[in-house]
Amino acid sequence: MKKKMLGILMGVAMTATTIAAPTAIFADDIDIEDIAVETEEDDVADVEVEDEAEPAEEVAAEDDFSAEADDAEGLFTDAEAADFEAQNEKAVVSANVIASAEDTDNSYILKPEHITVYSDAAENLGYKDKVDQKTAVSTLDVLATMHKKKYPSITSATAENYLKLWYQESLTVGGAWIDKMFGVETTALSFAVNGIAPDTGEIYKDANGNPTNDYVGKMVNEAAVENGDVVDFFFYKDTQSYSDMYAYFADDNGNFLKSLTVTPGETYTLNVKAYAYKMYSLSIPSWRNLFVENAPSDYTVVWVSNDLDNPLFIEDGKVTFTVPADASGTYSLLGEITGAPAYRYVNPHLEIKVG
């Protein structure tokens, strides 16, 4: 409404100026200085108009709620601003994974179970990884959390009594080898994420620059994990040729199973596979599959976590089980290699969720 009134008044002012000015010029008895000529400027000056928009810079400054703006206006002291930035640097994320640790005799150091891992777990014990803690959890964070679970009183001052790393070249250039794990000082150990070794996606080349059938691997401080991943740490029994076999439950296509949702009263048949982990865990799938075999029938039994009195036996690399009609909740299938097979097998395990 104000803008419309302003336009009308401006039109009137311009008309008055056009008519009055010639009269003042040609009348001999009228002093031109005595003529009150109404101009556009005179009229507009008395009109109430809307305020002009503030400059963008000023608006932005007034609406800036950042720490920098508050500090500039004196709302934060230097110490408070520094603390604010430090808190931002400590931002962490978490992942819920199924983790286990197994000794050379196939006994569990930590049985397979869900654990929540925070992306600063390694840092809290004095270690550093190359995975951005603002975006992801590393396998080193998982290992640190497992040590904290196994040794509740562990601190950054005592951590190397149980877990020790050797950094290749430097933290910013190379990965870290595990020199000690769960108090055992050895490099004859490894870890798997969903049944294989983490890799960069880049094909490894030999000394002559020729591509191989393997990927370039990621070290424990380089690999990231996600919700639902299965992370296994284990020691090698064969420290000469590293022939230890890694066993796992698989679907009909041979794919590693993280977990399985079942229905009460239904019967399921799963595959139990294995391969030489040291040799083929970094291989491209088509090459590794050539060396995957069935878990040995004569030595493998599977226990259901809530029914340890009735083992299930492997036949031709398969195990069949029926879910009780009244079953509910979550269980585990825990494979165990008994007797004396030709090679040592890392025990398979699988989470069973009754839907």
pLDDT score of 208: 97
Q: 92-235 is classed in which CATH architecture?
A: Beta Complex (2.170)
The closest of 87, 111, 96 to 141, measured between CA atoms, is 96
CA distance 255 to 350: 13
CA distance 19 to 25: 11
The pair of structure tokens assigned to 222 is 């380089």
User: Which whole-number Å values give the CA distances from 242 to 134, 249, 292, in the listed order?
Assistant: 37, 22, 16
- Written as one letter, the residue type at 192 is A
pLDDT score of 66: 45
Whole-structure pTM value:
0.74
Domain ranges of the chain: 2-89, 92-235, 242-355
CA distance 217 to 200: 6
Chain Cα centroid distance, residue 157? 27
Q: Which CATH class is domain 242-355?
A: mainly beta
Dump the DSSP string for 264-321: TT-EEEEEEEEEEHHHHTTB-HHHHGGG-EEPPTTTEEEEETTEEEEEEE-BTTEEEE
Within a 13 Å sphere around the CA of 107, how many CA atoms are in the beta-carbon half?
2
pLDDT score of 344: 94
Convert 95-146 into a string of H (helix), E (strand) and C (coil).
EEEEEEEECCCCCEEEEEEEEEEECCHHHHCCCCCCCCCCCCEEHHHHHHHH
User: Which whole-number Å values give the CA distances from 50 to 13, 58, 109, 236, 289, in the listed order?
Assistant: 20, 18, 76, 81, 76
Query: Among the residues of the chain, which ranges form H helices?
Result: 2-26, 40-45, 56-63, 67-72, 78-89, 121-124, 139-150, 277-280, 285-288
CA distance 318 to 326: 25
pLDDT score of 80: 63
CA distance 214 to 280: 8
User: Which whole-number Å values give the CA distances from 12 to 35, 130, 200, 249, in the listed order?
Assistant: 18, 75, 78, 91
Cβ(140)–Cβ(184) below 8 Å: no
Note down pLDDT in tens along the chain; length 355 residues: 433 333 332 333 333 333 333 333 333 343 434 434 344 444 434 434 344 444 433 333 344 434 444 444 456 677 666 655 555 566 899 999 999 999 999 999 999 999 999 999 999 999 989 999 999 999 999 999 999 999 999 999 999 999 999 986 655 567 899 999 999 999 999 999 999 999 999 999 999 999 999 999 999 999 999 999 999 999 999 999 999 999 999 999 999 999 999 999 999 999 999 999 999 999 999 999 999 999 998 788 888 877 767 888 899 999 999 998 998 999 999 998 877 788 999 999 999 999 8
